[in-house]
Amino acid sequence: MTSVVELKSDEIGTWSAARPVRVALAGCGAVGSALLRELAARRPALRERHGIEVTVTSVLVRDVARERRAPLDRTRLTADLDAFLAAAAHADVVIEAIGGLEPARRIAEWTLRSGRELVTANKELLAACGSSLADAARRHGGTLRYDAAVGGGVPVLRMLDDALGAGTPRAVRGILNGTTNFVLGRVERGATVDDALRDARDAGFAEADASRDLDGRDAAAKIALVAWAAFGTAPEAVEVERRSLLPDVARYVELARCVGRSVRQVAECALVDGELVARVEPLLVARDSALAHTRDEGNRIEVHTGWSAPLCASGPGAGGAPTATALLSDLLSPRVGAPQRGRASRCSSDRRRFRWALGIRGAPVLLHRLVPACGLVHTNADATEAWTLVDDESSADIDRLLVALTAEGAEPVAARLDDDERGGAEQGS
């Protein structure tokens, strides 16, 4: 006779021994403290579904006295990097959520060179030295995981690594900065840039220096990591053409409104005539497009494979909980050493020609005078602002126009119109 006994979940833990995993955590800001909260909340699931018991043995912070919204044994806090590394020598995994280049680089190098596992969300660090960290991991038997560095809770790198069957996409593009998307959406709905940015900061979305979000440096670091995963080019070698929304974000929202579109900060990397191009810019997208419908701090990635439609993923792209969840996913992934990347594509400047909207402050005659083949020029009611559409120009052509208009005091702005109906980057120059 077979008898069935129902076990309660807390009884399971008493007889199935969970494997202890000791974690040293660098950083206890929005992401680090969210990670501690998630670890506490998911302790039973980690034990029962994954068979691990995570203990945080040391936490590196800037200020040990600061109050933190995290379940924390304060005796584990240290502001001394050497003391942290000494404690990390007894940990199985180092999670780096401190951001920026230093001391993150030293922590990463120490971890990988001592053959340990590093889990990090630090896109700036990886864009600056990702391939040398991967080399260090390979040489010393360490493991490098960084899926949390791109897309917040959206598994962008995982999708590129796992879902393409070792295939190479034609192009990958999307919204990779939650703060900028949040600010653009709010300003479109009537908020001021300052208020929208304050809300993004309060929600824990923005970088410590939020100009990195709005001027595209944050998204540029992320698209370099995407290009590494998609095309094998080391992130250090990816040259990203970057067009900033600063100094006046609201002017791009207004330019988009003039042409009946929405503006989104879009990052793209693509193979054009066999060479890699990468860019981050304000893109004027159709109001009914999926990019325009990506709201608040959402991120969205589109992988153009040559199939009839791109492979897409979207979700929360910034904030403590989604990023902490991505770090936890990395922690739970089996040890794999360093990521394997395909053959490197050479990087070149983007010579493709696009359609642009060009706006100025001042007399419309400047557009007629300085823009070759200038089409219809529109003005506002008192003719203090003007805009036009410019067809078939490369980024370099537009930059030359911007320089000429700036020299005349016209305070120009330019943004490319999305032409995604062409299906990614198959169009060579």
User: Of the listed pieces 162-170, 177-185, 255-263, 324-332, which binds ligand HSE according to CB under 6 A?
Assistant: 177-185
Establish if 330 lies at the interface with ligand HSE (CB under 6 A).
no
For residue 160, give the H/E element and its range.
helix 156-162
Phi, psi values for residue 47, rounded to 5°: -75, -45
Among 317, 320, 359, 412, binds ligand HSE (CB under 6 A): 317
Query: How many Å from the N-terminal Cα to the C-terminal Cα in the chain?
Result: 75
Nearer to ligand HSE (CB atom), residue 310 or residue 320: 320
Which of 317, 318, 243 lies closest to 284 in space, CA to CA? 243
Count of alpha carbons within 13 angstroms of residue 353, beta-carbon side: 6
Among 58, 131, 177, 233, binds ligand HSE (CB under 6 A): 177
Among 33, 179, 294, 314, binds ligand HSE (CB under 6 A): 179
Nearer to ligand HSE (CB atom), residue 235 or residue 317: 317
Establish if 218 lies at the interface with ligand HSE (CB under 6 A).
yes
User: Of the listed pieces 175-183, 261-269, 302-310, 328-336, which binds ligand HSE according to CB under 6 A?
Assistant: 175-183
Q: Say how far apart CA 138 and CA 337 lie, in whole Å.
A: 6
Establish if 206 lies at the interface with ligand HSE (CB under 6 A).
yes
Establish if 146 lies at the interface with ligand HSE (CB under 6 A).
no
Please return the burial class of 229, using the count of CB atoms within 10 Å of its CB with bins 0-12, 13-18 and 19+. Answer: buried
Q: What is the 3-state secondary structure (H, E, C) of 17-52?
A: CCEEEEEEEECCCHHHHHHHHHHHHCHHHHHHHHCE
User: Of the listed pieces 174-182, 247-255, 269-277, 370-378, which binds ligand HSE according to CB under 6 A?
Assistant: 174-182
List the structure tokens of 355: 């359609």
Question: From the CB of 206, what's the least distance to ligand HSE, in Å?
Answer: 5
| Residue for token pair 């506002």 | 380
- Asked whether 75 and 91 are in contact (CB, 8 A), the reply is no
| Contact positions with ligand HSE (CB under 6 A) in 391-410 | none
Among 207, 281, 302, 385, binds ligand HSE (CB under 6 A): 207
User: Of the listed pieces 77-85, 89-97, 98-106, 203-211, which binds ligand HSE according to CB under 6 A?
Assistant: 203-211
Question: From the CB of 178, what's the least distance to ligand HSE, in Å?
Answer: 4
Phi, psi values for residue 57, rounded to 5°: -95, -25
Nearer to ligand HSE (CB atom), residue 111 or residue 120: 120
Question: From the CB of 214, what's the least distance to ligand HSE, in Å?
Answer: 10
123 catalytic residue (yes or no): no
Q: Which residues are within 8 A (CB) of 118 and not within 5 positions of it... i.e. 6 or more apart?
A: 93, 94, 95, 96, 107, 108, 111, 112, 133, 137, 142, 143, 144, 145
Residue type, 405: L
Q: Say how far apart CA 93 and CA 254 lie, in whole Å.
A: 48
Among 38, 92, 213, 420, binds ligand HSE (CB under 6 A): 213
The contact mask relative to ligand HSE for 98-137 (x = CB under 6 A, - = no) is ----------------------------------------
| Residue for token pair 């879902």 | 163
Q: Which of 47, 217, 222, 243 is catalytic?
A: 222
Q: How far is CA 173 from CA 91, 111, 113, 252, in A?
A: 37, 32, 34, 20
Would you name the residues annotated as active-site residues?
222
Binding site for ligand HSE (CB under 6 A): 152, 177-179, 205-207, 213, 218, 317-318
